[in-house]
Structure 1
């Protein structure tokens, strides 16, 4: 088999299309192309072609996962969940014919490699994610430390990272409770029900009583 053409993609100049024996076969990033040393007119065997296709799959998944990670800081568990979905076989319906075909998911080893590289390069970090979450979560509405802790645990962040992050924050239950009361007080004519609502948000009864008496 022969590499008959290598052309830069019109929509993404960082990727190139590779044609084998006159037909499009796969795409690579410019960096991958340089690393592999692939050139037009190169002859490739079955094993080499498999390696090129594996590199293509990895490059595409890495780029998509990186874009997902950069939308906002993500926890490692969030990225793992995202990558897990990419391993699942999906039913794809053609827009033109309406026929349904199955698209196999990505190999688990590829997703593990992607996650490893994202962590290694600092794009995914539970420490950075926890700091972002605590600094930005419900800043105007108010949120209890208890609820922040619960949310971070649900995102897969370890207790030690959560403890360090919460210890460093300037947000306090007293200030956050005042925000919630200011925003929600008018909705409750019954003080008992309002106190129950605030307790469900993670605030202590002592703090609630003290705040409502002010």
Structure 2
């Protein structure tokens, strides 16, 4: 038990006050808490009083802290609770803070998940599996998320995956069409699309025969520099093995090898 001997405004927060009990700093409180508990000089406080006041102050601080956090963008309940923990808000105040935020309309996981899915569809390359995984990490119920993700239609998924597929093919244009497709498919899978969607996206891409020949020539010239000093029979074996491993057609490989050997003979 003690007596409040001084109440002073904090230098950096004029809405918060430092409370001294029996001449020593005891705790700080929001202005609203000061009014609610009628804290003033000469007021006698027990340890239980201080504990109740501290929890109540935690509620005020927590609500204000959370609202500032939510002012930047929508958040899930889990994100807000994690933020309160990070800001060292008293654990005893968490439930009331979350309840107040819900009552005030700041927290609604279903609305958050719906908005999050729409934003991801419109602004990112992510597929439904990746979006669902991120929602799970944010504490959204699996069943609710699964229902909401249905707005990401198969048609939209195929369209986005096909665009990704074309972009990846260009990125690996020095590889054979076979390797290009495999690498593109693997990448799209990591973005959260199903195998069925990836297959449909790959089917939508038209093969580029000219690009395939250009890639074959690029790889063949590199291999040629390594094996050109070999006897022709061994040269052909090594060239075929090297280019076949990269996914090129054997008929095309033979044609390119003949061309390179002919050019080499002309240079000799």
Higher strand proportion: 1
- Looking at both structures, which has the greater relative contact order when contacts are Cα pairs under 8 Å and sequence separation is at least 6? 1
Q: Distance in 2 between matches of 1:184 and 1:64?
A: 44
2:181 is equivalent to residue 198 of structure 1 = no
Does the C-alpha gap of structure 1 residues 73 and 21 become closer, same or farther in structure 2, counting only changes over 3 Å?
same
Number of the residue aligned with 1:33: 34
**Superposed, which structure 2 residues align to 1:75-114 within 5 Å?**
75-83=76-84, 106-107=90-91, 109-114=92-97
RMSD: 3.2
Q: Residue deviations 1:74-120, cap 9 Å, x none?
A: 22233344455678xxxxxxxxxxxxxxxxx944x333333333333
> What is the Cα deviation at residue 193 of structure 1?
1.3
Gaps of 5+ in 2: 174-179, 208-268
Q: How many residues align?
A: 196
TM-score (norm 1): 0.71
Q: Distance in 2 between matches of 1:125 and 1:194?
A: 38
Q: Residue deviations 1:55-79, cap 9 Å, x none?
A: 3344444444444444432222333
Higher helix proportion: 2
Number of the residue aligned with 1:92: none
Number of the residue aligned with 2:132: 149
Whether contact under 8 Å (1:198, 1:208) holds in the other structure is no
Larger radius of gyration: 2
TM-score (norm 2): 0.59
Q: Distance in 1 between matches of 2:152 and 2:6?
A: 55
Q: Distance in 1 between matches of 2:94 and 2:70?
A: 14
Q: Distance in 2 between matches of 1:185 and 1:14?
A: 60
Does the C-alpha gap of structure 1 residues 183 and 5 become closer, same or farther in structure 2, counting only changes over 3 Å?
farther
Number of the residue aligned with 1:6: 7
Whether contact under 8 Å (1:147, 1:201) holds in the other structure is yes
